[in-house]
Structure 1
Amino acid sequence: MIRKRSLMHRTAVVAAAGTTALVLAACGGSGDDDGSAGHGGHAATASSSAPSSPSASASASAAQGQHNAADVAFAKGMIPHHRQAVEMADLAPGRARSAEVKKLAADIKKAQDPEIRTLSGWLTSWGEDVPAEGAMDHSAHGMGGMMTAEEMTGLENASGTAFDTAFTELMIKHHEGAVEMARTEQADGAHGPAKKMAGEIIDSQSAEIEQMNALLGKG
């Protein structure tokens, strides 16, 4: 009887142990599944959400040169505008009489040539077309004080004091147009470097407008 009870007790213990092992294994398996699902899930979530996280979005935007339509319009408008100013400035050495006008023309070319290259680089990096050189520079008259082909021809045919006066009067209008375009960029643009350039254009060309008004006796 005692032996029978002992055998039954041992059988119960073994059965209980087996049950416990199964429960533990199940729990362990469940835990592993939860763990892999949890970690894997988090990893997948982290992976899928990384591009939309603020820092990742900022990095992506920075890599793409964060910009908007106003930045594109600014670059596409300012390139031909600057080109025409440089074209005007190139006429001064052989036609101007005033040393001040010659220096002003040299300063304009020195400032605007590099800006044309920078603006062109932005457009290229944004996947936009850089305005073609040539006819469109004059056809864009009416935008930002651009000269007509006739006005440009008149300037080319002038010399001495007549050139100085025509150059100064036309460049004042030209600069006023550039300042207006730059203010629009500062108000509506998103590209930091473009807005910075716009600020520099406003400062430098406003100062040159004052200088040219003084040369005309209007200061």
Structure 2
Amino acid sequence: MISKRSLLRRSAAATVAAAAALVLAACGNDSGIDGSAGHNGHTATSPPASAPALQGQHNAADVAFAKGMIPHHRQAIEMADLAPSRAQSAEVKKLAKDIKKAQDPEIKTLSGWLTSWGEQVPAQGEMDHSAHGMAGMMSPQEMEKLENSSGKAFDTAFMELMINHHEGAVEMAKTEKAQGAFPDAKTMAAAIITSQSAEIEQMNKLLGRS
């Protein structure tokens, strides 16, 4: 009996020791998990914390680009909206459609950036005032003349004015590429330079200038 009791006690002691070892190991693992989670927590939270910082890393040139390009694009779309009912050339109608298709989403994107930066988005009615004198922008008189023309006269006037308008946008985009800090704005600027330079070349060909 003594021998059996001794064996039982030893067996119980071994079981308790094993259980204690498991508990300690589990605790050790938990702290290891916590430690690694804490480390990973830093790693995981750092990118989100730094990502907005990177995404929001903008300067005065970025703000000027967005605030200037919004009314600039709005006027191009206003011009493009005249083409379906006034243009004679199928090429001019397609060009106007392409301009609107490209620039309308860019206005939304630019507006979103300004809002996220805590900046004021230019109001629709501010176009003629704040943007007056901006590179390539048409005067109210030029806009009125375009509205009152049709057929071949509209096609010619539309392309001549749009070339100047696009050249202004390209100039603004080049400034953004050189001076801006916000990566997405610089990417958009590069896209504007490429697409609008191609459209300038196309319109010059249609006008017989090249």
Residue number in structure 2 paired with 1:169: 160
Q: 1:115-174: CA deviations, max 9, x gaps?
A: 00000000000000000002x322323212100111101000000000000000000000
- State yes or no: 1:138 paired with 2:128: yes
Point out 4+ residue stretches in structure 1 off by more than 4 angstroms.
54-57
Residue number in structure 2 paired with 1:20: none
Question: Partners of 1:56 and 1:114 in 2: how far apart?
Answer: 26
Q: Secondary structure at the match of 1:66?
A: coil
Question: Partners of 2:170 and 2:159 in 1: how far apart?
Answer: 16
Residue number in structure 2 paired with 1:111: 102
For 1:139-158, list aligned pairs within 5 A.
139=129, 140-158=131-149
Q: Which structure 2 residue ranges, 5 or more long, are not aligned?
A: 1-41
Residue number in structure 1 paired with 2:198: 207
Say which one has the larger Rg.
1
Q: CA deviation at 1:111?
A: 0.1
8 Å contact kept, 1:89–1:109: yes
8 Å contact kept, 1:138–1:147: no
Residue number in structure 2 paired with 1:62: 54
Q: Secondary structure at the match of 1:84?
A: helix
Q: CA deviation at 1:58?
A: 3.7
Q: 1:37-84: CA deviations, max 9, x gaps?
A: xxxxxxxxxxxxx9xxx9797445136x11110000000000000000
Residue number in structure 2 paired with 1:102: 93
Residue number in structure 2 paired with 1:76: 67
8 Å contact kept, 1:138–1:146: no
- Matched residue type, 1:92: A
Question: Partners of 1:123 and 1:101 in 2: how far apart?
Answer: 32
Q: CA deviation at 1:210?
A: 0.2
Q: TM-score, normalised by structure 1?
A: 0.72
Q: TM-score, normalised by structure 2?
A: 0.75
**Aligned residues: CA RMSD:** 1.7
Question: Partners of 1:126 and 1:68 in 2: how far apart?
Answer: 10
Q: Secondary structure at the match of 2:196?
A: helix
Q: Which structure 1 residue ranges, 5 or more long, are not aligned?
A: 1-49
Question: Partners of 1:107 and 1:168 in 2: how far apart?
Answer: 14
Aligned residues: 165
Question: Partners of 1:113 and 1:81 in 2: how far apart?
Answer: 11
